[in-house]
Amino acid sequence: MRRKMLLAMAAATLAGNVLAAAPQKGDPAKGKQIVDTVCAACHGVDGNSVAAANPSLAGQSQHYLYSQLKAFKSGERKNPTMFGMTAALSDDDMRNVAAYFSQQKPKEREASDKTQMALGAKIYRVGNPATHVPACMSCHGPSGKGLPDMYPRLGSQHAAYVAKQLADFKAGADRKNPTMADIASRMTDAEMKAVAEYISGLR
Ligand code: HEC
Ligand code: HEC
């Protein structure tokens, strides 16, 4: 009995080590099969979505995409559509689609509301010292490319999607992140709208 238990424990440790050593990268070819059949309708075959409510995912960091899929699935990030979408995905599926989207080329956009550019650029590049809003570019990068594994890319994202996320971070119910909640809580609606427009044309 004792010997059996020791053997089982040794096997478990071995399996644990193998798992830890195995690469955590997804398989983009397997991811593409899921994207083509399920996700493309909203996010585009190549991760460049058309409708402004559906975020573009092309070129987004693999780590970030995977972390968001997990958050939708667990209900930590609340969205009825994406909760349904992730219910059927395994952990490997999520890694695979994340790998696929991260390798796609983001389509460049133009900001549609140019009247917002002056305020938007100021918030993005300088922040608002009076209310302690930090410059977005200090984490998301001067051209919105982000920093893989740490900060998501924002450049050329739909303005309406960006504005909604900022409002969600501020409200703190559907989307929780301490860093972004603190930043969004210091922003006015006008600042959120303006910086979202600026980001949509950023490349
Ligand atoms: C019916 C439309 C629809 C389908 C199909 C769909 N999504 Fe989404 N997805 C959305 C919407 C809308 C959001 C934004 C949710 C929000 O506002 O928080 C989103 C958000 C996301 C995000 C978060 C992006 C970010 O920048 O944080 C990821 C990742 C994602 N979807 C992946 C997928 C994958 C993978 C599939 C296929 C398995 C899929 N989606 C299918 C509509 C859809
Ligand atoms: C200190 C670093 C930091 C700064 C400064 C910062 N962000 Fe972020 N931002 C993050 C992190 C980390 C995340 C990922 C949050 C998560 O995992 O949910 C994020 C996520 C976001 C998202 C969600 C992206 C998506 O695809 O859904 C938006 C939009 C965003 N930030 C906008 C901004 C804006 C606008 C500013 C400037 C006013 C800003 N951020 C400043 C760290 C930062």
Share of the chain above pLDDT 90, in %: 84
* Ligand 1 atom at minimal distance to the Cα of residue 69: 29
| Atom 1, ligand 1: residue with shortest CA distance | 42
**Ligand 2 centroid to residue 124 C-alpha, Å:** 11
pLDDT, tens digit, 9 for 90 and up, residues 84-105: 999 999 999 999 999 999 999 9
For 187: left if phi > 0, alpha if psi spans -120 to 50, otherwise beta; the answer is beta
| Atom 37, ligand 1: residue with shortest CA distance | 39
Radius of gyration of the chain (CA): 20
State the residue for tokens 């399996």.
15
Q: Is the pLDDT of residue 123 over 70?
A: yes
The reply to whether ligand 1 has any atom less than 6 angstroms from the CB of 121 is: no
Higher-pLDDT residue of 91 and 111 is 91
* Ligand 1 atom at minimal distance to the Cα of residue 38: 37
Residue 158 neighbours by CB under 8 Å, 6+ apart: 49, 51, 52, 53, 54, 55, 56, 109, 200
Q: Is the pLDDT of residue 25 over 70?
A: yes
CA distance 188 to 169: 13
Two structure tokens written together for 13: 């440790």
CA distance 47 to 39: 9
Letter string b/e over residues 29-57, b meaning 16 or more CB atoms within 10 A of that residue's CB: ebbbebbeeebeebbbebbbbeebebbbb
Q: Is the pLDDT of residue 33 over 50?
A: yes
- pLDDT for residue 111: 87
CA distance 169 to 180: 6
- pLDDT for residue 108: 93
CA distance 80 to 83: 5
Two structure tokens written together for 101: 């989207």
Two structure tokens written together for 160: 């309406």
| Atom 31, ligand 2: residue with shortest CA distance | 180
The reply to whether ligand 1 has any atom less than 6 angstroms from the CB of 36 is: no
State the residue for tokens 């997990």.
70
Q: Is the pLDDT of residue 158 over 90?
A: yes
Q: How far is CA 139 from CA 62, 143, 184, in A?
A: 17, 11, 14
CA distance 73 to 98: 14
Pocket test for ligand 1, best of 43, 48, 78, 174 (most atoms within 8 A of CB): 43
Higher-pLDDT residue of 187 and 114 is 187
- pLDDT for residue 21: 45
* Ligand 2 atom at minimal distance to the Cα of residue 165: 29
